[in-house]
Chain A
Amino acid sequence: NAGVMQNPRHLVRRRGQEARLRCSPMKGHSHVYWYRQLPEEGLKFMVYLQKENIIDESGMPKERFSAEFPKEGPSILRIQQVVRGDSAAYFCASSPYMWGVNTEAFFGQGTRLTVV
């Protein structure tokens, strides 16, 4: 059973371009969480999705950022018109049930986005 797969591992975009980050959860996991880690900072929650539904997007910037987790295929975090401040490592985690007292979520290797 492969772990949480994120791709690409590294992504370079020029200011104003779009970035699409993909996350394939572990087999049997229907809950996905996206986190952002800025340089010298801890991981910050962005969004929690269940298949075809956004459950909690309280950590998502109001503009330019969107996320989806379709019925088929990976979860996508999309950043439009990227700016230098978007440069960070973006981690995805997945779990079989909602993240809870007895349910651990597993993290992917992350996508390191660099905006030049």
Chain B
Amino acid sequence: EDKVVQSPLSLVVHEGDTVTLNCSYEVTNFRSLLWYKQEKKAPTFLFMLTSSGIEKKSGRLSSILDKKELFSILNITATQTGDSAVYLCAVLIGSSNTGKLIFGQGTTLQVKP
């Protein structure tokens, strides 16, 4: 069965801290790995990773994928209270005519002032 596991499930930090969120997966027909941020509404897209070892960056957020070890990490530096959210990792699987995302349970991040 296709599986995506995130850790930790929840995390509390203070503003300015750096956090690392983990995502491991066991799937068939891997196509790409995606990170989303969910704040009591629609998940918003952060990154899509397809190739190993290539870091993607957006401001204070960065992510990298290791397709050999089957995991990805999401780093957030200099955290702010606005970073408080649930971070979802999802793996896109499928063949040439269909595709679907398999989501992990999410990591709930709380950033305290």
Contacts and interface: CB of A to CB of B under 8 A. Distances in A.
Contacts of B103: 35, 42-44
Given A4-B42, A104-B45, A109-B42, A42 B88 contact: yes
B42 A43 contact: no
Interface residues of B, number: 26
A65 interface: no
Interface stretch (B11-19, B75-83, B92-100): B92-100
5 contacts: A43-B103, A99-B94, A99-B100, A101-B50, A104-B48
B106 A56 contact: no
A110 B39 CA distance: 12
Given A107-B44, A109-B41, A109-B42, 4 more contacts: A3-B42, A33-B100, A42-B105, A108-B42
B94 A107 contact: no
B43 A55 contact: no
B100 A48 contact: yes
Contacts of A35: 101, 103
Contacts of A44: 103
B97 A99 contact: no
Nearest to A44: B103
Please tell me the size bucket of the interface on A.
20 to 34
B36 to A, nearest CB: 8
B31 interface: yes
A98 interface: yes
A56 B98 contact: yes
Given A4-B42, A91-B42, A109-B42, A100 B102 contact: no
A98 B98 contact: yes
A4 B98 CA distance: 21
B32 interface: yes
A45 B101 contact: yes
B97 A55 contact: yes
A99 B34 CA distance: 12
Contacts of A58: 100
